[in-house]
Structure 1
Amino acid sequence: MTTRELQMYWKKEKLNCKPVKLLFEIQSTRIAEDFLSKFVVYQIVIIRTGSFDGNKVFIERRYSHFEKLHRDLLKDFNNEMEDVLFPKKVLIGNLTSEIINKRMLGLKNYLEDLYAIKCVRKSMTFIRFFLDPELHEGYSCLRSGQYSKALEIFQHIVYLKEKLTQHKLILMVPPLCALVVCHKDLDEPEKAYKVGMDALSLLEKHTGHRYYMPLLETLVSLAYKLGKDFISLREKLERGEERLMRSLETEMKTLKEVAVKEHVH
């Protein structure tokens, strides 16, 4: 190995060992209004460092969403957040360029300060801030049969969860299964099967999970239709059905039935 090759090798090794973390950029805003007033909507770009991040995703939140996040987090992490600064409310001139630019920086720093606190970034309160509006819209579309729109939203949610829930990958299962339902109802069995197998890989050690049996049943049907190996999937399904019969559960729901009940308020 030449010196140049050795240098490139160690450079690659350092990149592979570089810890993955998230950065939050607020790169743009827009002025919106409801029937009461005008307000600023902030576009938050979430970037994963330490590895190539090909799925750039962003969300939009207004100041009141940040306020609610702050209040909710203080209930559980008041001591841990002692040094975290939250941008103060401005009663006059909050739509001026000067105030907007100042608040963009303040909110960016606020999110990064929160993410630096391990117990906060792993909390569902923090995670829900980035997901709840999108989840509400996605499941509303799914329940109303708007599968193309739901598909687009859930793909966005999957990209978000890939960044936010690496510590608990089982949280990826519901949106992945929602994608399976969308692909299946849009007559895209190959895509439904691929996403379903990704979800199943996360459930192998969680056979009691509410999605495990409905997902297996769907995958058996898809594998049979596509000419893939359905026998091993059917064997897992049969073992699951035996466990189901020994339990108090007597009826197995379909994947769609389980999915449409998610995120109902």
Structure 2
Amino acid sequence: MASRLLHRLRHALALTGEGPGEVVPGPEAEEFPESSELEEDDTEGLSTRLSGTLSFTSTEDDEDEEEEEENADPLGSGAALGRRLKNPGEDGAGEDGDRNPSSDGPRSSNLLTRQLQDFWKKSKSNLVPQRLHFEVTSANVINEPPSKYVLYTIALIGPGPQEHTPAQISRRYSDFERLHRQLRQQFRGPMAAVSFPRKRLRRNFTAETIARRSRAFEQFLGHLQAVPELRQAPDLQDFFILPELRQAQRLTCTGLYQEALRLWTNAWRLQIQLGTTVDTHRTLLTLVGLAVCHQELEQPSEARLSCEQALQMLGTSDSHPLLGPFLEAHVRLSWRLGIDKRQSEAQLQALQEAGLTPTPPPSLKELLIREALD
């Protein structure tokens, strides 16, 4: 293409009586050698304005450029950008016909770069919020004859600063493998793209194998959490929550309240991190465990707070079997702390008069002991 244009240019010069040797390259020809071959091409202005290198990390700002940037199109890709990419042949000769492209080119190129920078920064601010991050914090070889396995501890780290210790779970390879098998049976399509580390007959306890599986489990859980259909799967929720609730319930029933409180607290944080507090039954059961352990450990303020959270969740569900026990505990704890209890007392009396809860209602501890977790 360039050779044809050069041939046409030389032919035109020969017809006007000017020799090819009289053509003196201007400043733009020295800076952009290709412009000497494209002098009569309609894209001269475009090629001149787009010359240069785009950089999203540039910090060089000209005062004149800053003034133009303030009056530019805020989107960086609208009419202002369109005017800078406009074909010079479409404007009047009085405006652009006498303009020197070489003097306007660098300035327009820098302004175009600035606009692309702003557009890129704006697009970054519109990205999807960061998802939950999974990190294997430890992997311990457990030797319990006749079995021997690796127990992986995974921390759930949410976006933003962490106000509390991250929620965490401890699972072994067989737990992950069971979850993978269950999800593949129910979600063949979404699970087709999810990778999972295979079983090994040997070298299961080497540092290399443990490290590789740790990274694989992080990616596996991250992939499941990224797909909405998989994220809401009951089997995945059971994988995270159910073992913690069962162990916390056992410890509470045996009177090990301090150890149980740690597990109830971790289960509560797990549900918040995973966004599963919509599962009212398990969330309320967790608040029952927290209230019971705080009461047994002589922490009435914390126990009352757990009851208040449960009452807010229950709202006007007068027929819910846990409403009466939570109200009764809230009244008793408020009286102990010297806090006004008349509203909860009146609501509890109304439930008893309507026959919706026995008099007196069962205690939260009794309900927790009788609860069958499945």
| TM-score normalised over the length of structure 1 | 0.84
Please tell me whether residue 217 in structure 1 is matched to residue 309 in structure 2: no
- Of 225, 229, 235, 1:119 maps to 229
2:298 counterpart SS class: coil
User: CA–CA distance in 2 between the matches of 1:86 and 1:206?
Assistant: 43
Please tell me whether residue 65 in structure 1 is matched to residue 175 in structure 2: yes
User: CA–CA distance in 1 between the matches of 2:320 and 2:232?
Assistant: 21
Q: How does 1:1-265 map to 2 (within 5 A)?
A: 19=129, 21-49=131-159, 51-55=160-164, 56-166=166-276, 168=278, 170=280, 171-243=282-354, 245=355, 252-264=361-373
Structure 2 unaligned blocks of 5 or more? 1-120
User: CA–CA distance in 2 between the matches of 1:71 and 1:99?
Assistant: 21
Quick one: structure 1 residues 20 and 196, their matched pair in 2 at CA, closer, same or farther if it must change by over 3 Å? farther
Offset of 1:57 from its aligned partner?
2.2
2:339 counterpart SS class: coil
User: CA–CA distance in 1 between the matches of 2:134 and 2:272?
Assistant: 15
User: CA–CA distance in 1 between the matches of 2:341 and 2:288?
Assistant: 18
User: CA–CA distance in 2 between the matches of 1:109 and 1:157?
Assistant: 22
Residue-pair matches, total: 249
Offset of 1:264 from its aligned partner?
4.4
Give per-residue Cα distances to partners, 1:204-250, cap 9 Å, x unaligned.
Answer: 1444333221101110111122111110011221232244x1x6x75
Give the aligned partner of residue 4 of structure 1.
none
Offset of 1:76 from its aligned partner?
2.4
Residue 19 of structure 1 aligns with an amino acid whose one-letter code is: P
Does structure 2 retain, via aligned residues, the 8 Å contact 1:189–1:226? Answer: yes
User: CA–CA distance in 1 between the matches of 2:314 and 2:343?
Assistant: 15
User: CA–CA distance in 1 between the matches of 2:196 and 2:353?
Assistant: 53
Structure 1 unaligned blocks of 5 or more? 1-10
1:39 counterpart SS class: strand
User: CA–CA distance in 2 between the matches of 1:242 and 1:42?
Assistant: 52
1:24 counterpart SS class: strand
User: CA–CA distance in 1 between the matches of 2:264 and 2:297?
Assistant: 14
Give per-residue Cα distances to partners, 1:39-90, cap 9 Å, x unaligned.
Answer: 21111110111x4332312221110010111122223222321211121111
User: CA–CA distance in 1 between the matches of 2:364 and 2:231?
Assistant: 30
Does structure 2 retain, via aligned residues, the 8 Å contact 1:27–1:45? Answer: yes
2:132 counterpart SS class: strand
User: CA–CA distance in 2 between the matches of 1:149 and 1:81?
Assistant: 37
Offset of 1:132 from its aligned partner?
2.5
Give the aligned partner of residue 6 of structure 1.
none
1:29 counterpart SS class: strand
Give the aligned partner of residue 8 of structure 1.
none
Larger radius of gyration: 2
Quick one: structure 1 residues 167 and 58, their matched pair in 2 at CA, closer, same or farther if it must change by over 3 Å? closer
2:199 counterpart SS class: coil
Deviates more, 1:211-220 or 1:20-29: 20-29
Does structure 1 retain, via aligned residues, the 8 Å contact 2:352–2:358? Answer: no
Runs of 4+ in structure 1 displaced over 6 angstroms?
Answer: none
| TM-score normalised over the length of structure 2 | 0.61
Does structure 2 retain, via aligned residues, the 8 Å contact 1:162–1:172? Answer: no
